[in-house]
Each structure stands twice: as structure tokens, then as C-alpha cells.
Amino acid sequence: MRDVVIVGGGTAGWMTAAYLTAAFGNRVKITLVESADVGTIGVGEATFSDIRHFFEFLGLAERDWMPACNATYKLAVRFENWREPGHHFYHPFEQLKSVKGFPLTDWWLRYPTSKRFDTDCFVMASLIDANRNPRYLDNRLLEQEFVESDDLPNTIAEYQGAQFPYAYHFEAHLLAKYLTKYATDRGVRHVVDNVVDVGRDERGWLSHVDTAEHGRLAGDLFVDCTGFRGLLLNKALEEPFVSYQDTLPNDSAVALQVPMDMDKDPLRPCTTATAQDAGWIWTIPLISRIGTGYVYSGDYIDPEEAERTLREFVGPAAADVPANHIKMRIGRSRRSWVNNCVAIGLSSGFVEPLESTGIFFIHYAIEQLVKYYPAADWERSLREQYNSALMNVMDGVREFLVLHYRGAKRADNQYWRDTKIRTVPDSLAERLEQWESKVPDAGTVYPRYHGLPPYSYNCVLLGTGGIDVRPSPALDLIDEKDALAEFQAVRDKARHLVRTLPTQNEYFRRMREGV
């Protein structure tokens, strides 16, 4: 299994090439072929906090790659108007504390010390309201409880359960460029050409791809990173696609790249998802521009209306910026690994980017590929375990996303009213009932690894506000003193950090100046 051919040079292709090189060095020969004619998707700028393990695995420090990718910090997703106009809440990168065996959110339902569960239960919420940076100007990380690794490299698996306090925003095409250099410097062969045919042997396994100008590229293992096209897995091997559209109907997006001046405009340290009439708009602050886009369902509005809404939302800064209209394939390939072909990225599966899970899926898939890497006997069980892991991660995230819509209090038009009656995945229906009388915990969320801990479900359930959640009856019988002290500790810590941490603008200005 020494000869790997990766088809596609978007985020998925280059992340895979770079990671495999870091994992296997020159014991594996890697060729990446990408088309100059077929563009990349051109979006995908917000990440999960686990992404730091990717960079650490590659041996890259923030100062190496962040400036090259116009990257900023992300402490949370901020949801605006999902409950009602003017309301916002955060899903921060911060684990929830427990007092006497009950999560702080449960105590908050019984003793709501203010109207905001997020600022009462999480330190990060106040930091983001105040546009704070997670690091001090001398680069020290804010004092939060998390595990910072010192023995590199590491993977998501080793740190499951530990919550690092931030993720990143970056320009996807700059990251691909950065990783191109990383991978080719370490021996990856880079072919810029169109794959025009995919060859199969008598068993139906892939034997080679034919390119227009570079002839035949043969290999042992083929990685399909061709995006929504699924050129190898879905087209050549005819692996079916399992659509999630019945539960997640948003199937389109229109995106803009809006110039921004970080000397004037505040850099909010979070991704913002603002609910709209037929979906929601993302706002991602980068060093020199804002990435923004409207994710919507084509059943409710057309692309022209979506673009008009997005331009009105952004205002005059969007006037001369071209729009990128994207049709999205929502769901997953039935199996991501078939015979000797593994699909990674959009070809494997995709859900709308509400919780920035696209790059997380890629990162997780690459880690699993290394974990289950085959030998010459192509042991079937390795493929099956890989496929289960990928299926679980995507099906789990689907449940989590559906909760946002089912939970959203707003029901002011047909789109939002339909979110309350649309089918939900079977097991979620049962969980929703359980959560009405007990906030989500490890026993009642999607049981297999999907990157989202129970506290994430607590945030969305309490933040969206459409589902009536009751506190545990036992809390009436337990002394509340310690819980109230914990709320006070969260407030005190937040006040201290807001006072002492710099803004993102201050921090990145220093980084840009190389201080």
C-alpha cells in the first residue's frame, strides 16, 4: 500500500497529502492530481477547536501558518435571531461545570441568575461579547481548564473530552496553498491536470486514473477528494449517496468575500450565524476580509432573492463584490471507503456549515485512514471499522444540526413553521422527549463519537428557546449554595479576563508587525 494517488486539490486533498506525509514520511509515495479547470468550492473558513491537533501533528506552530492564511481565533458560534429578533447566544468552546452531579445549565433552569444561560454558565460568553482574544499580548493562553499538549504530534483521539478554548478562521485557498508547499517540500508529487478517465481492474477495484496531459497514474490506494462530484467513489465505483435532505432541507448557498479593515472594524472572535427567512447567514472575520454567505433552502427562495438578502445584510461594503452561488449535496456516501478508494471531504459527505463541521470531517477522516491503513491483504474489517466511524460522525452531527431548527423558537413564516413539523432522525425524536425533563448528558446524546459533547446540546437547547426544558426535580431538595457560588465564580472570572485580555485587533496587529 505504498503508492497513494489523491485526486483533488481543495482543502480535503491537501490536508490529506500533508497529513499522510507527516504520518508515514517517505515510506509511502503520494501523488496529488488537481485540475486547473475545475475550481475548488472556495468556502470553508471556520473550524472546530480539534483542528489544532492537525497543525500540531504536522509540527506547525501558529506563528508558522496563521499569518500566511490570514487566520483569526474563533471562541464560539454566535447564534443571532434564532429565538426572536435581537436575541443572541453562544455555543462556546468551553466544557460545562457540574455541581453536586448536576450540570450548571440544570441549576440555571432552577435558579436563573440572569436571563442569559450562556453568560451565567460559561466564562467565554462574556469574553466574546467584549471581543476579547484568547491569548495575551505576550502569547500566554487565557487561564481556562483544558489540556494543552506538550508532546507533539497528537490526534483528536488522545484528547477527546478535553476542550481547547478556541478554533480558527482562515482563508481556505491560502491554507491549501500553504499545505501544497508543506507537502511538496516533503516529497509529494503534484500534478496539475484533468482526470479524464478512471480505470478498474477485473475485480472492479481502481487500477489507475488517466489524465489529459500526464498520462496514466497508477496506484494502490486512491483518495477521492473531488468534492461534490465524487468522481472516483460515486461515479466510477457507483457508491450511492444517502441524502439528509428530508431532515436538513437547506441545499444552496451564496457567498461573498467582503473587504475589511482591521484597523477600523472590530474582529469579533467567533463565527456568527444569523437566522434569515429561509435559512441563515454566516459571518466569519478574517484578517483582511469578512467571509459571509447565505445558506438557504431552494424550496423557499430563489438564488436571486438569496443574493439580494445577503447584499442588504452586508450593506455598501458588498457592492462591488462578486457572488459565488453554490448548490450543496447534503448527506453522505453510503460508505466512504469502497475497495481501494477512500473519499475524503465533500465527496464523502457534507452537512450545512452551521457548526463548521466540514473541515472537522476531513481531519477526522484522515486520522481514521491512518488508524485503519490497510496492508497488502486489504483486510475487510479495517475498511468496515473506518466506514462505521465515518458514518457515525456524520449521522451524529446531522442530529445535532436538526436540533437547532427544531429548537428554534421563531416560527414567523412557512420556512420556520415547517422546521417544527419536519421529520427528525428516529433516535432524535426520543431524545427530544427526554431533554424536556432533563438537560442532555452523556447518556442521552447521540451515543457514538461525533465531535459534539453533551454541553454543546445544552447550549443549543437553551439558546434556541423553542423547547420547554424543565430543571431536575431533585434540585428543589438540594442546597443551592454551591451552585450559586459557581455562578459567581464564572462571573468573577469573566470580569477578570475581560479586564486583562486584549482585543483580537490588538493581538493580530502585534502578530502582523512581527512583535
Strand partners, 257: 291
Least separation in angstroms between residue 74's CB and ligand FAD is 10
Q: Return the SS3 of 171.
A: coil
β-pairing verdict for 241-243 and 331-333 = antiparallel
376 is in an annotated binding site: no
- Is 409 a catalytic site residue? no
The CB-of-454 to ligand FAD minimum distance in angstroms stands at 22
Query: What SS3 class is residue 383?
Result: helix
State how beta strands 289-296 and 216-218 pair: unpaired
3-state secondary structure 13-76: HHHHHHHHHHHHHHHCEEEEEECCCCCCCCCCCECCCCHHHHHHHCCCCHHHHCHHHCCEEECE
Binding-site ranges for ligand FAD (CB under 6 A): 7-13, 33-35, 38, 40-41, 43-47, 172, 194-195, 225-227, 229, 231, 253, 293, 326, 328, 345-346, 353, 356, 358-359, 362
Nearer to ligand FAD, 310 or 460 (CB): 310
Least distance to ligand FAD from the beta carbon of 277, Å?
18
Least Å distance, CB 356 to ligand FAD, is: 4
Contacts of 515 (CB under 8 A, 6+ apart): none
327 is in an annotated binding site: no
Q: Between 9 and 465, whose beta carbon lies closer to ligand FAD?
A: 9
Question: Between 90 and 102, whose beta carbon lies closer to ligand FAD?
Answer: 90
Q: Give min distance, CB of 33 to ligand FAD, in A.
A: 6
Residue 108 or 222 with smaller CB distance to ligand FAD: 222
Rg, C-alpha atoms of the chain: 23
Q: Which residues pair with 350 in a beta bridge?
A: 331
Nearest to ligand FAD of 294, 405 (CB atom): 294
- Per the CB < 8 A criterion, the answer to whether 121 and 494 are in contact is no
Residue 343 assigned to a binding site: no
* 355 carries a ligand binding annotation: yes
Distance of alpha carbon 159 from alpha carbon 149, whole angstroms: 9
- Is 141 one of the annotated binding-site residues? no
11 in a labelled binding site: yes
Active-site residue among 29, 74, 100, 409? 74
Q: How many CB atoms lie within 10 A of CB 279?
A: 27
d(CA 8, CA 23): 20
Q: What residue numbers does the annotated binding site for FAD cover?
A: 9-12, 195, 359
What are the binding residues for L-tryptophan? 346, 355
Q: Which residues are annotated as a binding site?
A: 9-12, 74, 195, 346, 355, 359
Q: Which residues make up each annotated binding site for 7-chloro-L-tryptophan?
A: 74
- Residues recognised as catalytic: 74
